[in-house]
Amino acid sequence: MFRDVSSCNTYNYGDAPYWDARYEAERGGAFDWYQRYSSLRPFVRKYVPISARVLMVGCGNALMSEDMVKDGYKDVMNIDISSVAIDLMRRKYEDIPQLKYMQMDVRDMSLFPDESFDSVIDKGTLDSLMCGTDAAISAARMLGEVSRLLKPGGTFMLVTYGDPTVRMLHVNGPAYSWKIELYVIPRPDFKRPAGSSSMKSYLEPVPTTEKGLLPPGFVLEDPDCHFIYVCKKLDESEISNVPTYPLTADIL
């Protein structure tokens, strides 16, 4: 269930050939990185309306989109840089019209017009780009495309292992007009230490500092937890009221 792409040095997670070879080897299999839909459902149902046109970026061979359709979602477009994954998924779901698959690089989704989607979901794809060459440029291209494709009022949901010190400076760039809420969820196999009396609810957004970071003294119950950044694209009337975080040397 849990695999970690934080060990970037070991694998070429930013390369299409790496993913093609991997999906070739896993042919017929299905795997969800980090979390399954069942644990993400409360967040998805809260922020993604059932009628939303959804874009799943870097879908791989995950069951997430299938599970969303089983849960009532009607329009989930899936893209991935791996043609092997896309061929496989397209064949697998040829009888499910709610699921569509296209081979595409998340850094250039120019086949889609501006403001085509109500929601964009990423689970592990930005993390993969962060392991590739020119990571910061790739991240900026991806996030620029996501922002372009979202309708005003739409939501980008990023599920990642990256904590705010390493993700906020990309996600909260000045080019994007979105308001961010942050959630922290434990790995699926995390067990609270015996005797722990914590009553933390993972369904509540965590407080962040003015700079978008976790407050001093904030304790991560699971040190290898996952983070969900819910980025709501603001409309014109909301933009002037948003604070921007001074994300520079303070964070690095």
Ligand X SMILES: C[S@@+](CC[C@H](N)C(=O)[O-])C[C@H]1O[C@@H](n2cnc3c(N)ncnc32)[C@H](O)[C@@H]1O
Residues at the site binding ligand X, with contacts judged by CB under 6 A: 5, 19, 31-33, 58-60, 62, 64, 80-82, 85, 105-107, 123-125, 128-129
The interaxial angle of helices 83-92 and 16-25, nearest 10 deg, is 40
* Cα gap 5→156, rounded to integer Å: 21
Cβ 56 to ligand X, closest distance in Å?
Answer: 7
Closer residue to ligand X (CB): 130 or 213: 130
In whole angstroms, what separates CA 101 from the centre of its chain? Answer: 17
* Cα gap 250→18, rounded to integer Å: 35
* Cα gap 23→138, rounded to integer Å: 22
Token pair belonging to 61? 């061979």
Contact between residue 37 and residue 64 where contact means Cβ atoms under 8 Å apart: yes
Closer residue to ligand X (CB): 31 or 218: 31
* Cα gap 34→32, rounded to integer Å: 7
Cβ 10 to ligand X, closest distance in Å?
Answer: 13
Cβ 62 to ligand X, closest distance in Å?
Answer: 3
Cβ 103 to ligand X, closest distance in Å?
Answer: 9
Closer residue to ligand X (CB): 34 or 245: 34
Closer residue to ligand X (CB): 63 or 251: 63
* Cα gap 143→156, rounded to integer Å: 9
Cβ 55 to ligand X, closest distance in Å?
Answer: 11
Residue of this chain nearest to ligand X (CB atom): 58
Closer residue to ligand X (CB): 82 or 177: 82
Cβ 159 to ligand X, closest distance in Å?
Answer: 7
Closer residue to ligand X (CB): 20 or 238: 20
Contact between residue 156 and residue 92 where contact means Cβ atoms under 8 Å apart: no
CA distances from 137 to 57, 130, 133, 141 (A): 17, 9, 9, 6
